[in-house]
Amino acid sequence: MSPAAATAASTATSTARSRLTRGSLAASLAHPRQLAPHRSAASARTPRRCPPCLASSDVSSDVSREELVEQIDALKRRNEQLEAMLASSGSASANGSNNGSERRVAEVKRATKETDIRVFVNIDGTGKCDVATGVGFLDHMLDQLAKHGMFDLEVSCKGDLWIDDHHTTEDVAIALGQCFADALGNKAGIRRFGSFTAPLDEALIDVTLDLSGRPSFHLDGWTATDVDRIGDLSTQMVEHFLHSFATTAKATMHVRQLAGTNSHHIVEATFKAMARALRVATEYDSRLGKDVVPSSKGTI
Ligand SMILES: [Mn+2]
């Protein structure tokens, strides 16, 4: 039975009940000709069209009031189940990621003597971010990546910060790049290329990337390293992070500073531009079949 039919049954039943006078209610429910006139040859006085769902149900002339109420309740429950099924099937097709069958998510766990890391990425996310690396400014940058890339991102890292921020920053980048590579799979149907120029006050940073399968990283005119540290993150490690990410994500990535003097602005604009460029490159191309790899070679 369709949800519409179930709704019709419920509505028709309540309509039938509302037409009964108060005095005849019990008797009429005990003899439910008004609900199922087609079952009663003697009910020529009340020729009414029978709802299709009642026609197929087991309403009979000797059914009790309690049984009728049970049947009505069962119809309502079935109606709710069907509506829930309809709602869930609707959201699944609206998601439509990875040929409509697979979610573009990945998790990487990486444990060494230097760091113990878990990273989870949902490419088709909403920008939810739950990160704790122990390096505050790195957490802030990962939040930019999630928010502006519309990725859901979870990162936890217990690193050897008593030494410095090097292993933590580098290994988070390695796990993150691996997550993107894993979640994107064969990259069928995606745009593959992405480019974005992000301003932040005086800073203007362009990130152009190609999820090419060939790791290549280039940094041009980038002056954030004019200062040694931003908060608890050494600026040299930002370059190392970007390079490590591009390597494990197997992406070609160019970062160009077009303007900027404040290192905090330069780094933050870099992550925002990278997030937006990644968002474009990982999104599905509506003109490309979802099983088509965007490469003249046929594989990336
Ligand atoms: Mn290193």
Domains of the chain by start residue, with CATH? 3-95 (no CATH), 105-282 (3.30.230.40)
State in Å: Cα 277 to ligand 1 middle.
25
266 C-alpha to ligand 1 centroid (Å)? 22
Distance (Å) from CA 27 to ligand 1 centroid: 85
pLDDT at 253: 98
Cα–Cα distance for residue pair 111/122, rounded to 1 Å? 21
Task: Judge if pTM exceeds 0.95.
Answer: no
Least confident residue range of 5-14, 144-153, 156-165, 194-203 = 5-14
Q: How far is the CA of 238 from the centre of ligand 1 (A)?
A: 11
Distance 171 CA to ligand 1 centre (A): 8
Residue where the block lists tokens 């908060």: 231
The helix (H) or strand (E) run that includes residue 259 is strand 252-259
Distance 41 CA to ligand 1 centre (A): 88
Residue 63 tokens read as 């059914």
Give the mean pLDDT of the chain. 82
Determine the pLDDT at residue 100. Answer: 45
CB of 132 closer than 8 Å to CB of 156: yes
Q: pLDDT of 40-96, one tens digit each?
A: 444 444 444 444 444 444 455 677 888 888 888 888 877 766 665 555 443 333 333
Question: What spacing in Å lies between the alpha carbon of 19 and ligand 1's midpoint?
Answer: 80
Per-residue pLDDT reduced to its tens digit, 5-37: 444 444 443 333 333 334 444 444 444 444 444
Confidence band (pLDDT; 50, 70, 90) for 206? very high
Distance 254 CA to ligand 1 centre (A): 20
| pLDDT above 90: residue 128 | yes
More confident residue, 5 or 238: 238
CA of 243 to the centre of ligand 1 (A): 10
- pLDDT the model gives residue 155: 98
Ligand 1 centroid to residue 170 C-alpha, Å = 6
